[in-house]
Amino acid sequence: MKTSAVTAKLKGEDRAKQEVEITGQVTKITDLEGKITRSEAALIEWGAKVTDLKEQRKEIKFNVEVKVLEAKEAEAAVLEAIKTVTDVELLNRKRWLASKMVGDYKKCQKYMEEFTMIFEKQGQVIAAELGDHTRRLDVANGAITALKEKKTSLADAKKTKDLEIQLEKIESEIARHESVVKVEKKVIKAV
């Protein structure tokens, strides 16, 4: 229709040439618009992929940081346990030496006083460590309970992207506290 309106004033062969040329140009424009549309769709698709990859990177980074913290806590707990075992082994060695020196009562008395003091000190250290680990265990369990209650209260709310993100954060915090509980139980058992 537009071609007819443009070429209405022309006659015969000129009109046919113009119509063919206009039709060709319209086809080219339509092809270019199609390419633009496909390019824009591809751009949007790649943008979504980039966003997904960024989110995956953040999640991986967060998981690595959590694992590093867990490893550091476990390493510290193991070092404390090794120190405690070493101190107990030293105490046992000193007792054995003292029993070999029964002939000299004063030396035995001196060693026994020292051993008693070391034994009591180690008992206090172990009791304090157990108290610290029990406290951490209680704090982690309390945090898990509070987070689960918060998650339950948020479950009834209107589903939004922010709510989903908040629920994911709560889930990750619960998982982190559960790993703390697991580590603390192992440490308490070891001590």
0.75 exceeded by pTM = no
- Contact yes or no for 171/154 (Cβ under 8 A): no
- Contact yes or no for 34/54 (Cβ under 8 A): no
Neighbours of 183 (CB within 10 A): 20
Tell me the C-alpha distance between 146 and 20, whole Å: 75
Q: Is the pLDDT of residue 52 over 70?
A: yes
Question: pLDDT band for position 3 (50/70/90)?
Answer: low
Question: pLDDT band for position 1 (50/70/90)?
Answer: very low
pLDDT tens sequence across 57-81: 999 999 888 888 888 888 888 888 7
Question: pLDDT band for position 171 (50/70/90)?
Answer: confident
Question: pLDDT band for position 101 (50/70/90)?
Answer: low
φ and ψ of 187, to 5 deg: -65, -45
- Contact yes or no for 78/183 (Cβ under 8 A): no
The tokens for 16 are: 């046919």
**Which of 4-8, 44-48, 107-111 has the least mean pLDDT?**
4-8
Range of the domain at 85: 2-190
Cβ contacts of residue 167 below 8 Å, gap of 6+? 151, 154, 155
Looking at the structure of the chain, the number of domains it has is: 1
Cβ contacts of residue 168 below 8 Å, gap of 6+? none
Identify the residue with better confidence: 162 or 29.
29
